[in-house]
Structure 1
Amino acid sequence: MAADQKFSRLTLTAMVVGSMVGAGIFSLPARFGAATGPFGAIVAWIIAGGGMLMLAFVFQSLAVRKPEIDAGIFAYAKEGFGSYLGFVAAFGFWIGTCLGNTTYFVLIKSTLGAFFPVFGDGNTPQAIVVSSVILWAFHFTILRGIKEAAFINKVVTFAKILPIFVFIAFMAFAFDYDKFAASFWGGGDYSGSQVFDQVRSTMLVTVFVFIGIEGASVYSRYAKTREDVGWATVMGFLGVLCLLVLVTLLPYGVLERPELADLRQPSMAGALESVVGPWGLTFVSAGLIVSVLGAFLAWSLLAAEVLYSAAKYGLVPKTFAHENRHQVPSTALWITNILVQCFLIVTIFSQYAFDLSLEMTSALTLIPYILVAGYALKLVLTRETYAPGSKDWGRDMTWAAIAVVYTFFMLLSGGFKHLVLACILLAPGTLMFILARREQGQTIFRPLEIALLGVFVVGAAAGIYGLVTGMITI
C-alpha cells in the first residue's frame, strides 16, 4: 500500500467508533432499567470499561509484537493454542456475528412495531418474512460485488451519532436529580447489598456494546505508525465509553426505573419520546434503521470474511475459500446468510428474541476474546518477542492478566444457560473442523482437544435436555 493510502489516526479512530457504535447503544435504557439502578450501572461500566480497556491494550500490543498475524483474531488462538482452539475462536466469532446480524433484524422490526403493530417486538411471522426479504436482497447485492462505499459509511456514521447526541442533550435538559436519587440503589425494595446481582445481570449487554473494539488493530498493517493503532484504539474506546455511560445514566433522571424497564426496544426512542413527544420516537427510530441496515452490510461481509479466512488457514473446509467472479467469498456468504435465516426463524419461538440474540452474541464473541487475551499472556510468560530486561514486560503482563480474568468472568457471569446454548452450536460445528483436517490428511485431534470436544458434547446434551424439559427457556 502506498504511503498516501495509509490510514491516519483519525481514520483508525473512526473505525473503532464505527465498529463499536451499533444496535446495542439504542437498547441500553431499558436493558439497564430492568436490571439495576444508577449505582449498579456505574459499577457495571467501571468493570466493563476497565476490562475492555485492558483488552484494547492487548490488541494493540499484539499488533506490534506479532505483525505477521493479520488474518483475524482467530489466528492468535491458532498460533498460541493449536488448530482446534483456532477453529473454536473462528467458529465462535462467526456464529456470534451471525447472531448479531439476527439482532439487527429483530431490532429493526421491533422499531417498526411501534408504528405497525403487526411487527410486534420483531419476532412475529410478518416480521420474519420482511426481515427475510431484506436479508436476501442484501445477499444478492453483495454477491454482485457491491461493498461498503465511502458514501454509505458517511451516511451510516451520521445516522448513528446524530440521534445519540440529540438524545443526550434532551435527557440532560430534562434531568431531575430527585428522581435519579430515588432509584440510585435500584429503587423500591432494592439496596446496596443487592448491587452484585444487579451488576451481574448487565454484564453480557456491556460486552455486546463493546464488540468491535479490535477495529483499529484489524487494520494495523495500514497504519502510518504502529503507535497510531494504540492511540486510535484507546481514544475511540474512551469516546464510545462516555456515550454509553451518558445514554445509560441520564434516563434515570427522567423516568422511574419501572418505566424504563417497560420501554419497548429500541428503548432510547421511547425515552426521548417521554421528553419531547412523538417526534422523538420517529427521529431515533429512523436514525436507528439507517444505522442498523448499514451495520448489517458491514457485518455480513465481516462474517463471510471470517469463514473465508478460516478456510485459508485450513480450519474449515477449503470450499469456504471460494470466490466468485466479483471476488466475493460467495460460499462463505451463502452459508452465513442461510444460518442467519435459520436464527430468524427460531426467534418466532423466543419470547425475548432481541435479548436472547444479544446475550448469545456476547457469549460466543467472548470465546475468541478470551483466547486472544490468553495468547498475549502466553507471550509474556514465555517471554517470546521480549528482550531481556524489557520495560514492556511488566506492563503487558498486567494488561494480559486483567484481560484474561475479565473476559473469563464475563463469560461465566452470563450464566449456565448461555454456556450450554453455545455448546449446542459448537459441538456439531466441530464437524467443519473434522472435514478440514481430513482434507489435509492431518491428525484430527490431539488428546487435550478430544477432552475439550467432550466438554462441548456434554454441554450440548445438557442444553438440549434443558430445552426439551423446559428447564431452559428462550
Structure 2
Amino acid sequence: MDNKLGIGALTALVIGSMIGAGVFSLPQNMASVASPLAVMLGWGITGIGMIFLALSFQQLTELKPKIDSGVFGFARAGFGDFVGFCSAWGYWFSAMLANVSYLVIVFSTLGLLFDTPDNVLFGSGNTVISMIGASALLWIMHGLVLRGVKTAALINMVTTFAKMIPLITFIICAAIAFRWETFTLDLTGLHFDASYDLWAQVKGTMLITVWVFIGIEGAVVVSSRARNRKDIGRATILGLLTALSIYVLVTLLSMGVIKPVELAGYQNPSMAKVLTAIIGSWGQYIIGLGLIVSVCGAFLSWTVLASEAPYLCARDGIFPKKYLTQNKAGSPVKSLTLTNICIQVSLVFVMYAGSTYDTLLIIASEMILVPYLLVGAYALKLAIEQGKGSQLLFIGMGASIYGIWLLYASGLDYLLLSSLLYFPGLYFYLKAKKEQGRAPFIGKEKWGLIVLTMAAIAAVVLIVTSGISV
C-alpha cells in the first residue's frame, strides 16, 4: 500500500491546517483591535510576510532535500541541536494548544446554538459537559490517526472541501449586503482610545493574523511522507493564496455589513452573528455546522502535525528514542499518545481556569513565532554562506524581517512569558542526549541556554511585579 501523499492531499493538509476555527471568529477578533484601514494594512503586511515565509519553505525543501523534519529541521541544520530542539518544542507546544483551542471553540459553538440563560450546558467551551465532550472527540481522533497518516489525510481532504461551502456562502451573502458607508463610517478607528493610534491598531492585528496562518508549514512537516518533493512547495503556495483570499474577504466584507464598533462586541464565532444579520436565524446554524466540520478537519490535521514533531525529533536525536515507535499503519504511537495526553490535561486546566479560545489563541500564536523566524534566518544564512544568489537572499531577508516584526508587534511581555514554556521541554532534550552519551550543550549552544534562562527569570520578575498571569 502506498502511504505517500500527493499534491492534492498535501494542499488539503495545508488549507485544512490553516482554515480551522480562526476564520469563523475573524470578524470580531479584528474589529476588537483595529479599524478597517488598520485591518487592510495588517493583512497587507501579513500577506507579504507569509508569502516570503512560504517561498522560504519552497526554496529550502528544494535546496535541502535531505532535511525532512519540517520547520525545526531547518533550524537544527542552521543553528545546531539545541536551537533545533527549541524550535521543535515551540512548534509542538503551539500545535498542541491549537488542538485545545479547536475543542474549546467546538463546544463554545454548541453553547451559542443551544444554551439558554436558564440552562447553560456548554458555555464558552469550558464547562464540565464541554470537557467531557471534548475529551471524547480527542480520543476518537486519536483512533483515526492510529489508522495511518494516509487515512487521516484522506478524511482531511473531504472535510476541507466541505468547510468551503459555508465560507463561500458567507462571502457571497456578505458581498451582496456590503455597504460602503458602513465600511467607511469609522475608517481609522476614532472610537478607540486616543493613545491607540493607527500604528498600534496594525500591531494589534498581528497575533490574530499569525494565528489564522499557523499551518502554512503543514506540507513541510510531513515532507518525509510526500510522494514528490516539488509538491511540498507547490502545496504550500497554493494553500497560502487560498487561505489569504478567504481571510481578507471574510474580515473586510463583515466590516461593511456591521459597524466595526458593534462587531467588536459580538460573541464568537462572530461570523454566525453576521450571517444571521443578513439572512436571519438560519445564518447561525449554517456557520455553526460549518465551524464544527471545519474544526474537526483542522483538528485531525493538527493531530497529525503535532504527533509528527516528537517522532521526527527522536529520529534526529533531539528527543528520546522511544518516540520513534510506529504501529503497522506507520503512525507514531508514542508521540501521538504524548500529544493527546497533554491536550487532555490542558482541557482540565481550561475548565478550572475558565480559559477561553482567545486566551489559547495568544499563547499558541506566540509559541510559533520563533520557529517561523528561524526558517527565514536559515534561508538567509544559507544564501550568504553558499552564495545561492539574489533570489534566496531576498526571500530569506524578507522572511527574517517579517519574523522580527512579529516578535516586536506581539510585545516583549508575551515573548518573555513564552520563554517559561520552553523549560519543561528540556527534560526530553537532556534525556535524549544522555541516551546518546553526548553533552547537551556544545559551544555557542551554552549561550542559548543562558539567554533562555535569563528570559525566564525576567518573565518571573514580570509576573511577580506586574501581576500578569501566564
What is the TM-score with the length of structure 1 in the denominator?
A: 0.90
**Residue pair 2:85, 2:429 contacting (<8 A) in 1 also:** yes
Report how many aligned residue pairs link the two structures: 464
The structural deviation recorded for 1:85 is 0.5
Find the partner of 2:421 among 418, 425, 430: 425
Correspondence 1:309 to 2:305? no
| Structure 2 unaligned regions, length at least 5 | none
**Residue pair 2:128, 2:351 contacting (<8 A) in 1 also:** yes
2:317 counterpart SS class: coil
Report the Cα distance in structure 1 between the residues aligned to 2:97 and 2:5, rounded to whole angstroms: 33
- Correspondence 1:195-344 to 2 at 5 A: 195-218=198-221, 222=226, 226=230, 229-344=232-347
2:346 counterpart SS class: helix
- Correspondence 1:46-61 to 2 at 5 A: 46-61=44-59
* More deviation, 65-74/309-318: 65-74
Find the partner of 2:137 among 127, 134, 149: 134
**Residue pair 2:18, 2:216 contacting (<8 A) in 1 also:** yes
User: Corresponding residue for 1:72?
Assistant: 70
- The one-letter code sitting in structure 1 at the alignment partner of 2:72 is F
User: Corresponding residue for 1:372?
Assistant: 375
1:443 counterpart SS class: coil
Correspondence 1:363 to 2:366? yes
- The one-letter code sitting in structure 1 at the alignment partner of 2:456 is A
The structural deviation recorded for 1:194 is 0.9
How big is each residue's C-alpha offset from its partner over 1:139-164, in whole Å with a ceiling of 9 and x where there is no partner?
24544658635652343113321111
The structural deviation recorded for 1:188 is 2.7
User: Corresponding residue for 2:445?
Assistant: 449
The structural deviation recorded for 1:329 is 1.8
The structural deviation recorded for 1:235 is 3.6
The structural deviation recorded for 1:233 is 3.2
Report the Cα distance in structure 1 between the residues aligned to 2:205 and 2:243, rounded to whole angstroms: 18
- The one-letter code sitting in structure 1 at the alignment partner of 2:186 is S
2:151 counterpart SS class: coil
Report the Cα distance in structure 2 between the residues aligned to 1:125 and 1:255, rounded to whole angstroms: 34
The structural deviation recorded for 1:467 is 4.6
What is the TM-score with the length of structure 2 in the denominator?
A: 0.91
**Residue pair 2:57, 2:220 contacting (<8 A) in 1 also:** yes
User: Corresponding residue for 1:178?
Assistant: 181
- The one-letter code sitting in structure 2 at the alignment partner of 1:271 is V
Report the Cα distance in structure 2 between the residues aligned to 1:22 and 1:398, rounded to whole angstroms: 31
- Correspondence 1:25-104 to 2 at 5 A: 25-104=23-102
The structural deviation recorded for 1:468 is 5.7
Report the Cα distance in structure 2 between the residues aligned to 1:395 and 1:69, rounded to whole angstroms: 21
1:118 counterpart SS class: coil
Report the Cα distance in structure 1 between the residues aligned to 2:30 and 2:277, rounded to whole angstroms: 17
Find the partner of 1:463 among 455, 459, 463: 459
Report the Cα distance in structure 2 between the residues aligned to 1:153 and 1:414, rounded to whole angstroms: 31
- The one-letter code sitting in structure 2 at the alignment partner of 1:211 is I
- The one-letter code sitting in structure 2 at the alignment partner of 1:444 is P
**Residue pair 2:13, 2:153 contacting (<8 A) in 1 also:** no
**Residue pair 2:20, 2:297 contacting (<8 A) in 1 also:** no
Report the Cα distance in structure 1 between the residues aligned to 2:88 and 2:153, rounded to whole angstroms: 28
User: Corresponding residue for 2:21?
Assistant: 23
* More deviation, 342-351/265-274: 342-351
User: Corresponding residue for 1:415?
Assistant: 411
Report the Cα distance in structure 1 between the residues aligned to 2:170 and 2:100, rounded to whole angstroms: 25
User: CA 1:149–1:371 in 2, change beyond 3 Å: closer, same or farther?
Assistant: closer
Find the partner of 1:397 among 393, 400, 424: 393
Correspondence 1:122 to 2:125? yes
* More deviation, 147-156/331-340: 147-156
How big is each residue's C-alpha offset from its partner over 1:67-92, in whole Å with a ceiling of 9 and x where there is no partner?
11112221111111010011011111
**Residue pair 2:105, 2:125 contacting (<8 A) in 1 also:** yes
Report the Cα distance in structure 1 between the residues aligned to 2:221 and 2:139, rounded to whole angstroms: 28
The structural deviation recorded for 1:372 is 1.2
- The one-letter code sitting in structure 1 at the alignment partner of 2:415 is L
| Structure 1 unaligned regions, length at least 5 | 387-392
The structural deviation recorded for 1:308 is 0.7
* More deviation, 415-424/88-97: 415-424
Report the Cα distance in structure 1 between the residues aligned to 2:51 and 2:404, rounded to whole angstroms: 15
Report the Cα distance in structure 2 between the residues aligned to 1:423 and 1:6, rounded to whole angstroms: 35
User: CA 1:223–1:397 in 2, change beyond 3 Å: closer, same or farther?
Assistant: farther
2:121 counterpart SS class: helix
User: Corresponding residue for 2:167?
Assistant: 164
How big is each residue's C-alpha offset from its partner over 1:67-125, in whole Å with a ceiling of 9 and x where there is no partner?
11112221111111010011011111111100100110111111111122321111233
The structural deviation recorded for 1:191 is 7.6
The structural deviation recorded for 1:287 is 1.2
Report the Cα distance in structure 2 between the residues aligned to 1:97 and 1:414, rounded to whole angstroms: 18
**Residue pair 2:147, 2:329 contacting (<8 A) in 1 also:** yes
